[in-house]
Structure 1
């Protein structure tokens, strides 16, 4: 029992000591991965908003031209 106990406590202590480094690394990796994702999401939302605004403006122009055309026809 005395021999098994240090063997069990040894790796757990080592895991505990080295367990902090991978979490820091994983957190760093997550931050590194999250930042470009956030930028990409913002970029995509920005582009989507531009596309939506463009389509809205085109449809608005279309309706304006359609109304003018209708007025001219009438």
Structure 2
């Protein structure tokens, strides 16, 4: 599966991405590069620095390496 294309199709949507270590990342995809997908956590339970982005404000969120993605689901299935 090509996670780069899948993530690009879902920019701006709530998703749940599970990494290869079993950690779940819930939030909105804000940016995709050839190496990372950027997640802005939904709600107040996000990771500290990523929740506010780089340099304050809502920002892009935090990066997750595309190579670490083990599973992908649309967030509407979980909220």
TM range (shorter): under 0.3
Which structure has the bigger radius of gyration? 1
* Higher fraction of strand: 2
Normalising by structure 1, what TM-score? Answer: 0.13
TM-score by length of 2: 0.13
Name the structure where helix makes up a greater proportion of residues.
1
